[in-house]
Structure 1
Amino acid sequence: MPSEAKSEPPHAALLTLAGMLLGLRRVSVLMPGVVIFAVAFGAAASAKGLSLVEAVLMSALVYAGVSQLVAMELWRPEWSWGAIVALAFVTVTVNARTILQGASLQPWFSRYPWFVNAFQLSFFTDANWLVGTRYHNEGGRDLGVVLGAGLALWGVWVVMTVPGYLLGALVADPRKYGIDLVMPIFFAAMIVPLWRGKRGALPWIIAGVVALITVRLVDGYAFIIVGALSGAVVGAFLDDPA
């Protein structure tokens, strides 16, 4: 006997200019934070001795936000293989969050050809993931929203690296003016819309506490890895079974 329930017909794989413009409008509220973030990276790159061209190329080709700032913290005039491996491991750990972000939207993205996803994921960031998640939860299905937001953020990120670099050449110690606080403030603002109550905050608290303990006990950037893994493990145990 056939079931009376009918499956929902698949949505068309939309990718329109109107969607891209909508993505631009929705992400515009985050632009001030991205501007300051990019300026902070440019200043850090200048302080580490990169040329303006190298700093702009890193922003344009790597386009990794937090990882770029972490890389500048670890940057050194001379490199060993051990230092290169350590930098790669830390930046991979920082960027690993995008695996889960992409997976959360995979049912939507899977409707598009691989080359479309390869292109739009090149501009995939925390900000347009947040925009895309909200839009998708509201019933929207136009991938242009994610792509438009990502392209807009990329353009701002690259352009604002330049004044940041020039500022860094004038400011001997960017931390004196609180530029080093841009990253934590930006991410604190980003996670507010993701608040799911006290239970959902436990992984964040555990990750923060473990990271603070680790930074006191171990030199370097092990606290990033240990804190992230601790929060992920706690979050996995808290998830309701399917």
Structure 2
Amino acid sequence: MAAAVVAYLMPMAIINEAIPAATARCSRAGFKRGFVKALPFLLSNGLAGVVMGVAYRGVGLGFVPAVLFSVVVYSATAQAVTLGMWAAAPPIIPMVIACVATNARYLVMGAHLHQLFGRLRKRITLPILFFLADASWLMTTADAERNDADAGYLLGASAPMAIGWVGGTALGYGLPLQPDGPLAIAAALLPAAFIATLLPSQWRGKRSILPWLLAAITAVLVSRFMAPNWAMLIGGAVGTGFSMLRGDHA
């Protein structure tokens, strides 16, 4: 993700407990280990990508733009949120803002990965960061606690997720499925589903209760005057802003 690449280049110290970058490496063994561990995501991301591909065809997007959307943006959450904002004349600026807001968490991930892989050459780490996903970040963090930090593991863990998502988008677009009925419901639920998968990694105990509560209350109030997607984004911004002002760590 672009946000992760930017944050990686910044010498930030957001996460206190990090593996020293001096021990970092990028190995084939790490790639293989990460790839095997992440193979289940090939199916799960593929199924979600199929729904996204069908939904893109339903809003009139061409095959190439639909696949490129999944390749370039490569963010299930951001794509699902912008899909809900789609119109005959897509609101480009609000969509860009939505993408930035939903992907802001990659700034923290990139800063953390800088602590793990900061001494590796940028020509190795930056291309790998393009395929970063929430699950591959979590898997790499856990693996680095048991072994030396290995950028090969991050690439291996990210590969099945990227293949599943982009391949699923292409497959879904080409399948003779109608973008209504159960698929329409599935597409509508994609934003909530992807956000729900992020909750366990964002839970910080009792300190998370107040920011989450503020976000929920704000979203409910804003939804009375604005579209649900904007309510979700503004609610999340309020909760995140409160957490930052309070000095919470990632």
SS of corresponding position for 1:178: helix
Q: Work out which of the residue numbers 196, 199, 203 in structure 1 matches 2:207.
A: 199
Contact conserved, 2:31 with 2:154, CA < 8 A, in 1? yes
Worse-matched range after superposition: 14-23 or 177-186: 177-186
Contact conserved, 1:47 with 1:168, CA < 8 A, in 2? no
Q: Work out which of the residue numbers 145, 149, 155 in structure 1 matches 2:153.
A: 145
Contact conserved, 1:44 with 1:69, CA < 8 A, in 2? no
Any unmatched runs of 5+ in structure 1? 1-7
Percent of aligned positions that are identical: 29
- Written as runs of structure 1 = structure 2, the 5 A alignment for 1:70-219 is 70-78=81-89, 83-166=91-174, 169-174=177-182, 176-219=184-227
Cα 1:30–1:184 change in 2 (3 A) is: farther
Q: How many residues end up aligned between the 2 structures?
A: 231
- Per-residue CA deviations over 1:74-133 (Å, capped at 9, x if unaligned) read 233335xxx322221221111111111211222112111122222011111212111122
Cα 1:172–1:107 change in 2 (3 A) is: same
RMSD: 2.7
- In the alignment, the residues of structure 2 paired with residue 19 and residue 84 of structure 1 have an alpha-carbon distance, to the nearest angstrom, of 40
Show the counterpart of 2:242: 234
Point out the structure with max Rg over C-alpha. Answer: 1
Is 1:37 aligned to residue 48 of structure 2?
yes
TM-score by length of 2: 0.79
Is 1:16 aligned to residue 24 of structure 2?
no
Cα 1:152–1:30 change in 2 (3 A) is: closer
Contact conserved, 1:94 with 1:224, CA < 8 A, in 2? no
Is 1:63 aligned to residue 74 of structure 2?
yes
Cα 1:168–1:184 change in 2 (3 A) is: farther
Give the aligned residue type for 1:214: V
- Per-residue CA deviations over 1:130-168 (Å, capped at 9, x if unaligned) read 112222233431111111112221111111113322457
SS of corresponding position for 2:67: helix
Contact conserved, 2:27 with 2:152, CA < 8 A, in 1? yes
Any unmatched runs of 5+ in structure 2? 1-18
- In the alignment, the residues of structure 2 paired with residue 213 and residue 175 of structure 1 have an alpha-carbon distance, to the nearest angstrom, of 29
Contact conserved, 1:55 with 1:161, CA < 8 A, in 2? yes
- In the alignment, the residues of structure 1 paired with residue 210 and residue 175 of structure 2 have an alpha-carbon distance, to the nearest angstrom, of 39
TM-score by length of 1: 0.81
Give the aligned residue type for 1:91: C
Give the aligned residue type for 1:15: C
- In the alignment, the residues of structure 2 paired with residue 184 and residue 151 of structure 1 have an alpha-carbon distance, to the nearest angstrom, of 24
